[in-house]
Amino acid sequence: MMNLKKPNNNWRKAILLSACFVLTLSVLPGCKKTSSPYGSEALSVEDLLASGGKDTFQLKTYSVLEDTLNTDNQNFATLGAYHDPKLGIVNASFYTQFTISGAINMEAAPAPVIDSVVLSLNYGGYYGKLDPQKFEVYELDEELDVNADYKRNTTKNIMGSDLVDPASATQTPNTTAKVVLANDTTPLNPQLRLKLDNAFGQQFLDDMAAGNAAFTSTSNFLSSGYFKGFRINVSNASPAKGKGAVLYFRLDNAQTKLTIYYKLSGDTIPKEVPLIINGTCADFNHVEVNHSGYHIADVLANPLNGQSQFYTQSFDSRAVVEFPTVNNINSKSLINNALLYIPVAYQNGDFYYPSVLLEVGYKTDSGEIITFKTANYDNNQKAFIVDLRDYVQDIVSGKAENRGVYLFQSSLYFNCTAERIVFNGPLSPYKTRPKLVVKYTEFK
């Protein structure tokens, strides 16, 4: 645990300077180049100034919309809806292709007869509250491309009606319970299992038995356009406040698949045909975020509204902290220490917990955000504490523009989870407010 303390100005020699800048933060875009380490050189006492001071500065905090990043082929597929009491409604769905593993050869006689069709999705986690949700599956009428870039607002055409059996549609997700199938003693990983319309599966069997060329190889199945894939979503798009969750699924897990169970006419031995998702299949997350009536909407509309609270939310927004008065530090100063303290509005036990890992980045002239630092959430202090010494040194030395910093969840999960963080701003009604504490030594 790291505790912030006021700097000690009782230096043994009066010619040393210690200045503490307590900055109330604000966020701007980034830096021209990456930071480099400072402070390893030996200091000459004759080169130090005999003055010091302590000042407090007003800082700016806000959030910016970030909804145009790619959402294809992420670590998780997202599904479900929840109503965040502080940020509004998140409604997530996903699109995916399926393929076969090698050729499928099925004789026309005896005729295959459908038993059931099950879509199984291996859980990877969730965010929110595990309330009942109604799941829907639609067949795609438009092909996906594994090489294409898809955004969170991308849609594809569907055809027909919802394929989920009504008896299977509404479920309360259980992300920890193993699944044991009939006649199988080996338990499966926790998964959402949706029983689909038997007529859909029977059509597959009939086409296999008829020798449809799509089933002659994995590549032929995808290129033929025989089956373009699914859109999977929930119908409860606007849950009550404090209800619902977004579920995470591992599409690359072997137990995530579409399985057609059948028997041959006159036979009692069950058989199955699995359709899998692998690296040749395209998939992407589609996420709708509705902030209407919530403070975050005001912050995104006008940065001046971010002084009391500001936010970062997966798929949607990043927090920004600006500290323009760092420019007032003498360019010949050596930064000894620079800690950014960012308190979080969170009570233990709340379903909407802050992300464990925070990335800190700057924005380049081309608009790219470069991560240069990470910080872990400190639950004891209810805050993230970021070491910005090298970054501040670059600003003071003129090696980087002072554009502030961007704060956001791990980039590995920004477009495949539903987490968010609520930060206290400089004008927060709570006693814990953001600050940047800088200790430096000033040279002649």
Q: In this predicted model, what pLDDT tens digit does every residue of 323-375 receive, in sequence order?
A: 999 999 999 999 998 999 999 999 888 999 999 999 999 999 888 999 999 99
Its pTM stands at 0.86
Convert the pLDDT of each residue in 4-43 to its tens digit: 233 333 332 222 333 333 333 333 333 444 443 333 333 4
Asked if residue 287 belongs to a domain, the reply is: no
Is-contact 115 181, C-beta < 8 A? no
Q: Do 325 and 420 reside in the same domain of the chain? A: yes
Asked if residue 215 belongs to a domain, the reply is: yes
Q: Do 382 and 401 reside in the same domain of the chain? A: yes
Asked if residue 7 belongs to a domain, the reply is: no
By the 10 Å C-beta count (0-12 exposed, 13-18 middle, 19+ buried), 234 is classed as buried
Helix, strand, coil share of the chain (percent; to 5)? 10, 40, 50
Q: Do 257 and 301 reside in the same domain of the chain? A: no
Is-contact 84 290, C-beta < 8 A? no
Range(s) of the domain holding residue 410: 19-67+292-442
Q: Do 52 and 96 reside in the same domain of the chain? A: no
Q: Do 89 and 33 reside in the same domain of the chain? A: no
Asked if residue 147 belongs to a domain, the reply is: yes
Q: Do 24 and 131 reside in the same domain of the chain? A: no
Asked if residue 6 belongs to a domain, the reply is: no
Report residue 319 as tokens: 């927090």
Q: Do 60 and 83 reside in the same domain of the chain? A: no
Tell me the C-alpha distance between 327 and 443, whole Å: 16
Is-contact 283 72, C-beta < 8 A? yes
Tell me the C-alpha distance between 191 and 206, whole Å: 29
Please identify, among 281, 304, 324, the residue that sits at the C-terminal boundary of a domain.
281
Average pLDDT in the 238-250 region? 97
Q: How many structural domains compose the chain?
A: 2
Confidence at 269, pLDDT banded by 50, 70, 90: confident
Please identify, among 255, 281, 307, the residue that sits at the C-terminal boundary of a domain.
281
